[in-house]
Structure 1
């Protein structure tokens, strides 16, 4: 059966990833278009999502997901797409027209229905849910592109909307959001029009132009096809452009990929392909996924990393890479492909950052239970695990370089713990790897400053 992954996000509870798209079944799990990969196995969220209508009962397609927190170790998130019903864990069904909330244990419909239209993207931050796509406002009698819900009950247009479709929204972490799509202008709440050419910043109260692809003419829009926010707060955008215009500064060359520091745009590494997805590794290097829809489908050229000598291919992915996510010391990729790393891989694959190895699914240890508390850590964390016999516990950075060996020798059977001082390490993501006679297990450690 044909399957596709539209988006992957790290679980808000800190382990595993949540995958959404159009698929039925993942591994041995019975799932419909949304699934969790964690601790070496696929898990379902109830019975998933369905599209039920006149003479139709089909798999619902999920276009977007937005993490909404973790409650008692249970992930919470919103999903949007072309579905009408959600199947609860007990087998019952509820109506959820194109958008739904998984509250950690069950599906919920939102208190206010989504306005007419087709949702393409979601973002959640500071208690506000953003929805973008082709969204219609009854009050304005027109399509407005993007809406938000801050009080849990009321949908509001961002200003008076975008004049065109919104393809992607990224929360800025400060109560606003970056918005991109096929629009040339946005409209403020007072009706004033702002020319933005496909990229704008919603500050929380009004639209602002932060710069964007330079237009070829008065009716031209250079399409942005990918957008992400780095750990340092920098905004990366990719798309069909050659130069970037910016407020109070000269136009800067930026072939298909640009970076905004918060005050100035710069070329993030000129590319020949159009980025479809972007991810930032902990060391700051950029990874880009490409689509066969806009790039000749050469099976070995759909995933790229910007190294010391420029762009290099990564992972030999044979098909479109629509989404990238970092979790569990791995780079997860999803899309429309059937091979990765020279192996059969359908729809979802993982690239082991510490080992440089693409795999169909992460390996899971047998007989080991590696945990870290606190995580994230500032000065120190304690690693706890059950093991016996010859045991090695080491820590690697995101490039696979060994930064510490915490244990290397025999252990008596039972529970053990090792304190790891992190005070001298730079902020970032690290991987603790435990190897015993029973197998190997990795745990992502985050160091903050």
Structure 2
């Protein structure tokens, strides 16, 4: 069925200065410009999975996690999701799944759990607040105790995307390895059914992404076009017959009655019959593939890209989070060293609440100072990192002490020799 469309093209102008902002590894704490996935927690914290580790951003301070300063087992972060309790689920390219909750890390992989494969492509949180994972060997759910693998309808399933619609049906973008045919599978309770994409004029190996718009409408992004599914009826959009700037649809999200669409060469917003299209180099959009989209509680659109960092955009102007107190929102924190126990090197990270002089010193078990790692002026809200080499010290317990003004924190460290 043909649809009448109104097209609004954004033209670069000075007004974009307030509507677009870009974060890169060069101008922020983002660990890499290669960003695979992003998510925003209920309290407004942005999390970014990159090709070189994990990063979080609270609107002021960036915090980074990699294989050196944290228990993160693999820096290649391919998928992220946050549950309603603020737990961060981290999918990796080669090491399975990590769970981060209140600073505590848990690692799941195919050798210590029923995770079917260590390559994770997507994560979604279900209505019961449990995570579902799209892996190289199908879809699996973990309820905190039991891993449940979804019985495949094909010989060799390769799952790439998972998402729930507003009625509680799980949509699974999958393809069959022997013939590379793309499927959309659906799961509701114990009922499993599917759609073959090639029968819908979508010649694509598999869906890349899905997102609900309302109770009756789901959008599906593929390598060969966009689909709008209303009560089971599919309408297909291609670059050739719609305002889409590209047939490669890698990212979808919704805000209100508007669908946000990230493509291989541009960004779109579709509201009813009205398309708004932003092409590369217009406004603040880089010429790059949009890999993911997340919306924060202020309505800001966060766009992850394949090589250009993260762009935040909001029509009418980006809205920053309000703080209930004056001054820097940061905490005085001395993080636990990693690794711990260690032999002979370890890394210590920390932030200070107020700018000014600070010291980081190491003491042995009877209180003797054995090292001064830092004695300098620090800036509030910046995450600092110092390496400690204890190769010249005897094995045993040591204390790291961070002092800034009237505040002091200690951490126990164990040197194994």
What's the TM-score once normalised by structure 1's chain length? 0.54
Higher relative contact order (CA 8 A, sep 6+): 2
- Given the alignment of the two structures, is residue 225 of structure 1 paired with residue 194 of structure 2, yes or no? no
The 3 A distance-change label for structure 1 pair 272 and 313 is closer
Q: Which residue of 2 aligns with 1:285?
A: 258
Q: Which residue of 1 aligns with 2:305?
A: 335
* Alignment match of 1:312 (pick from 270, 277, 283): 277
Does the 8 Å CA contact 2:115/2:140 hold for their aligned counterparts? no
- Given the alignment of the two structures, is residue 120 of structure 1 paired with residue 105 of structure 2, yes or no? no
- For residues 249 and 49 of structure 2, what CA distance do their matches in structure 1 show? 20
1:63, distance to aligned residue in structure 2 (A): 0.7
- Given the alignment of the two structures, is residue 352 of structure 1 paired with residue 279 of structure 2, yes or no? no
The 3 A distance-change label for structure 1 pair 148 and 168 is same
Q: Which residue of 1 aligns with 2:228?
A: 259
Q: Which blocks of at least 5 consecutive residues in structure 1 are unaligned?
A: 24-32, 52-58, 84-96, 136-144, 186-195, 242-255, 292-300, 339-346, 370-449
Task: Trace 1:14-413 onto structure 2 (pairs within 5 A).
Answer: 14-23=43-52, 33-44=53-64, 47-48=69-70, 50-51=72-73, 60-70=75-85, 75-82=86-93, 97-110=95-108, 112=113, 114-125=115-126, 126-135=128-137, 145-150=138-143, 152-160=144-152, 162=154, 163-172=156-165, 176-183=169-176, 197-209=182-194, 212-214=197-199, 222-232=205-215, 234-241=217-224, 256-267=225-236, 270=242, 271-273=244-246, 274-282=248-256, 284-291=257-264, 301-306=265-270, 310-313=275-278, 315=283, 316-327=285-296, 328-338=298-308, 347-355=309-317
The 3 A distance-change label for structure 1 pair 367 and 132 is closer
C-alpha distance after superposition, 1:278-332 (max 9, x if no partner)? 12232x22222122xxxxxxxxx42223366645216432211100011032100
Q: Which blocks of at least 5 consecutive residues in structure 2 are unaligned?
A: 1-24, 26-31, 328-417
- For residues 118 and 307 of structure 2, what CA distance do their matches in structure 1 show? 29
- For residues 102 and 208 of structure 1, what CA distance do their matches in structure 2 show? 33
1:266, distance to aligned residue in structure 2 (A): 2.9
Who wins on radius of gyration, i.e. which is larger? 2
Does the 8 Å CA contact 1:329/1:353 hold for their aligned counterparts? no
C-alpha distance after superposition, 1:396-422 (max 9, x if no partner)? xxxxxxxxxxxxxxxxxxxxxxxxxxx
Does the 8 Å CA contact 2:174/2:185 hold for their aligned counterparts? no
- For residues 117 and 267 of structure 1, what CA distance do their matches in structure 2 show? 33
SS of the residue aligned with 2:302? strand
Does the 8 Å CA contact 1:317/1:337 hold for their aligned counterparts? no
1:67, distance to aligned residue in structure 2 (A): 1.6
SS of the residue aligned with 2:115? coil
Does the 8 Å CA contact 1:215/1:222 hold for their aligned counterparts? no
Paired positions, count: 279
Does the 8 Å CA contact 1:63/1:121 hold for their aligned counterparts? yes
Does the 8 Å CA contact 1:78/1:102 hold for their aligned counterparts? yes
C-alpha distance after superposition, 1:241-298 (max 9, x if no partner)? 5xxxxxxxxxxxxxx212223332234683351211112232x22222122xxxxxxx
- For residues 122 and 261 of structure 2, what CA distance do their matches in structure 1 show? 19
Indicate the RMSD between aligned Cα atoms, in angstroms. 3.6
- For residues 258 and 216 of structure 1, what CA distance do their matches in structure 2 show? 10
Does the 8 Å CA contact 1:19/1:35 hold for their aligned counterparts? yes
SS of the residue aligned with 1:214? helix
- For residues 231 and 45 of structure 1, what CA distance do their matches in structure 2 show? 35
The 3 A distance-change label for structure 1 pair 175 and 352 is closer
The structure with the largest strand share of the pair is 1
- For residues 116 and 65 of structure 2, what CA distance do their matches in structure 1 show? 25
SS of the residue aligned with 2:43? coil
